[in-house]
Chain A
Amino acid sequence: MKNPYVPIEATVTKVITETPTIKTFCLKPDREIPFATGQFVEIAVPGKGEAPFTPSSSPYVTEQMDVTIMNVGKVTQHLHDMKGGETVGIRGPFGAGYPVKDMYGKEVLILGGGVGMAPLRSFLLTLLAQADKFKRIILCYGSRTPSDIVYKDQFQQWLQDKNLEVYRSVDKADGSWKETEGVVTVLVDKLEVNLDNSIAVVCGPPIMMKFGTLKLLEKGYKPETIYLSMEKNMSCGLGKCGHCQLGRFFVCKDGPVFTYDQIKDIPEIWD
């Protein structure tokens, strides 16, 4: 009988420092772990514990998996202490990812904040691999300061990519910053989109998710066209342990991607 609690071992092959608090870990699992973009995995640091992360790499790359992790807690601290060569465990993938096929032919707006760009990078790479299937791909990304921007090198490529429109903002600019200053929702204000054929995908810290969603609604996006990656305390990934309960849903199994329409009546979604 299959035991969903046993992790697959993986080797940390490379650690990339993205910002002072965020690192990307390249993992090579003992056997391939196919996933759909937006699904998450549990990463176990042996003897220390597990935590949920959404892969930030393309689902088309199966021999390696990247996860971009902010140092915010016990498990992430242990991960951040790693230099490469260590063994971790991976369980998953879990949950429902982004319904990419439903987005074909549409104007797709990706609205990200801070480390919330991690799952969105995987999503964006999925879209760019089949860019002709979408009417338009727009990325609006906000971070606190220019040094807090993740994937700095990759952004340079994306800024040149003619299949993609990239807009960035920082809450607090420095002398070198030539793009927008302000919270990420400012970028949405400036956009011109065909609302009848648009969807938006949002991921970021809770406060940004809240105001990002409210801004999209104000702009005219319908609740069923706004996709949110919900961050809750997903622990088992199997819809059993209860930690990620969000109203009648288990985020690990019914999500982590929900439309705003699915969860808008649940009082605690932004907490």
Chain B
Amino acid sequence: MAETEIFFLKTGEWHNFLKIILSRFKVLAPKQGYYNPEYALLGEEDSDKVLFPGARMTQPLKFFLYPPKENVTQEITPPEKKTIILGVKACDLKAIKILDHIYLDPDFIDPFYKTRRENILIISDDCPKPLDSCFCTLIGGEPFPTDGFDLNLSFLEQGVLVEIGSDKGKTLFSLIKTPLSKASQEQINQRDNNRKTVTEALQERNKEYAFPLEGLSQLIEDKYDSPEWKEACETCVGCMACTNICPSCHCFLLIDETPVAPGAKSKFNIKRSWDSCQSTGFSRVAGGANPRKKLTSRFANRFHCKLQYKPRNYGIFACTGCGRCYEACQGKIDVRQVLSLVAKEPVK
């Protein structure tokens, strides 16, 4: 991909494009659910049901890349149709980067993840209205995508700006047969202003929280055994909702459910199921030794993993600031508060 290409679609043209993709692909898009908007599989006639534009969904994308439980000894069959996911936000894209580091690690490429990843196209969009739990700007993110998408949408009053992010995206966009108009500088300025407004509102809303971004990994490392962790997890009940809902948590358990189904090629039936470092036995070895027996150390481990180990290994924080863990937490534990607490006192 050479320079960035941004096009402008009038509202009507955008709807036509939506109809094209609904007719040709399997499309997951935000739709009003019982309580909140949620990703739903939309059909050809559903173009008016797509809820646009909105904040991030409750479901993280890992549901579609790495489902909660699957047989990893079965044959890998690419789907007949590619899937398009709409309504993806910058925080979700950041989480996919972490998952890619783990599951597409050249040493051991995970064939199931890779097959799904190759058969998914991502149409992201600028976050218009972050939720109360959102704090991407506190953790080095921005509420609009800059890379990692196939197409990115910026909704303006008169239409939509479409930025091409990949060759896959370019091919997808070429399904529009009508002449395309490039975005004008004025439209791009309008987009940038909208982005700035949302960013500033998010910063303003989160200004009470104080932890340094620079040196955060070192701070977390230095505070390995700090008493603040105990205070921070006082209301934790160890339910593991935080890691299950986290878009970048990737840990799993292998469960051998052999015997196999009749006709299966493999003689083994091994399932992979999401697992959590918050569970008591997660690190326990057969002899009984367990480096993280205490809830406090398991709680702290989540922060060590996301803010110390992952940045050291991959150069990015594995917390996207999406705030899903706070929403899911029965104890109302908020990463923003935990980090502010941990950062409050200097390292002893």
Residues of A within 8 A of B (CB): 1-7, 9, 44-51, 70, 72-76, 89, 205-206, 231-233, 235-236, 238-245, 247-248, 253, 267-268, 271
The 8 closest A-B pairs by CB, nearest first: A242-B251, A73-B286, A271-B291, A5-B72, A248-B309, A268-B291, A238-B108, A46-B258
Chain B 96-120: CB-based contact to A (< 8 A → 1; otherwise 0): 0000001101011111001100000
Which chain A residue has the least Cβ–Cβ distance from B265? A6
Contact A233 to B254, CB < 8 A, known contacts A5-B72, A44-B270, A267-B225: no
In Å, the complex CA distance between A267 and B308 comes to: 14
- Residues from chain B with a CB closer than 8 A to the CB of A49 are 254-256
In Å, the complex CA distance between A236 and B274 comes to: 13
CB <8 Å contact, A47 and B251: no
Chain B 257-268: CB-based contact to A (< 8 A → 1; otherwise 0): 111000000111
- Residues from chain B with a CB closer than 8 A to the CB of A240 are 102-103, 105, 108, 110, 250, 252
- Residues from chain B with a CB closer than 8 A to the CB of A6 are 72-73, 266, 268, 270
CB <8 Å contact, A236 and B102: no
- CB of B79 closer than 8 Å to a CB of A: no
In Å, the complex CA distance between A66 and B34 comes to: 57
Interface positions, chain B 187-207, Cβ under 8 Å from A, are none
Interface positions, chain B 234-258, Cβ under 8 Å from A, are 250-258
Nearest-neighbour CB distance to chain B for A243, whole angstroms, equals 6
In Å, the complex CA distance between A233 and B287 comes to: 10
- Residues from chain A with a CB closer than 8 A to the CB of B103 are 240
Chain B 282-303: CB-based contact to A (< 8 A → 1; otherwise 0): 1111111111100001000100
Contact A3 to B111, CB < 8 A, known contacts A44-B256, A239-B105: yes
Residues of B within 8 A of A (CB): 72-73, 76, 102-103, 105, 107-111, 114-115, 224-225, 250-259, 266-268, 270, 272, 275, 277, 282-292, 297, 301, 305, 308-309, 312-313
- Residues from chain B with a CB closer than 8 A to the CB of A89 are 267-268
In Å, the complex CA distance between A271 and B288 comes to: 10
In Å, the complex CA distance between A191 and B296 comes to: 42
- Residues from chain B with a CB closer than 8 A to the CB of A44 are 256, 268, 270
Nearest-neighbour CB distance to chain A for B308, whole angstroms, equals 7
In Å, the complex CA distance between A135 and B297 comes to: 44
In Å, the complex CA distance between A163 and B108 comes to: 39
In Å, the complex CA distance between A1 and B111 comes to: 7
In Å, the complex CA distance between A128 and B277 comes to: 42
In Å, the complex CA distance between A51 and B254 comes to: 10
Which chain B residue has the least Cβ–Cβ distance from A268? B291
Can you name 18 A-B pairs with beta carbons within 8 Å? A3-B111, A4-B110, A6-B266, A47-B256, A47-B258, A72-B287, A75-B286, A206-B289, A231-B287, A232-B291, A233-B283, A233-B285, A238-B107, A240-B102, A240-B105, A243-B253, A248-B308, A253-B108
In Å, the complex CA distance between A45 and B251 comes to: 22
Nearest-neighbour CB distance to chain B for A192, whole angstroms, equals 34
In Å, the complex CA distance between A245 and B250 comes to: 12
- Residues from chain B with a CB closer than 8 A to the CB of A1 are 76, 109, 111, 114-115
Nearest-neighbour CB distance to chain A for B190, whole angstroms, equals 43
- Residues from chain A with a CB closer than 8 A to the CB of B254 are 5, 49-50, 235-236, 241
In Å, the complex CA distance between A233 and B286 comes to: 8
In Å, the complex CA distance between A57 and B11 comes to: 69
In Å, the complex CA distance between A108 and B255 comes to: 40
CB <8 Å contact, B277 and A9: no
Which chain B residue has the least Cβ–Cβ distance from A265? B221
In Å, the complex CA distance between A209 and B171 comes to: 57
In Å, the complex CA distance between A89 and B73 comes to: 12
CB <8 Å contact, B251 and A241: yes
In Å, the complex CA distance between A75 and B286 comes to: 9
Nearest-neighbour CB distance to chain A for B218, whole angstroms, equals 12
Which chain A residue has the least Cβ–Cβ distance from B287? A72
- Residues from chain A with a CB closer than 8 A to the CB of B257 are 47
CB <8 Å contact, A47 and B259: yes
Centre residue among B250, B252, B285, B312 by max chain A CB count within 10 A: B285
- Residues from chain B with a CB closer than 8 A to the CB of A238 are 105, 107-108, 110
Contact A76 to B286, CB < 8 A, known contacts A3-B111, A44-B256: yes
- Known pairs A1-B114, A4-B110; list 19 more (Cβ under 8 Å): A1-B76, A3-B73, A4-B108, A6-B266, A46-B256, A46-B267, A72-B288, A74-B286, A238-B105, A239-B102, A240-B103, A240-B108, A241-B251, A242-B275, A243-B251, A243-B275, A243-B283, A253-B107, A267-B224
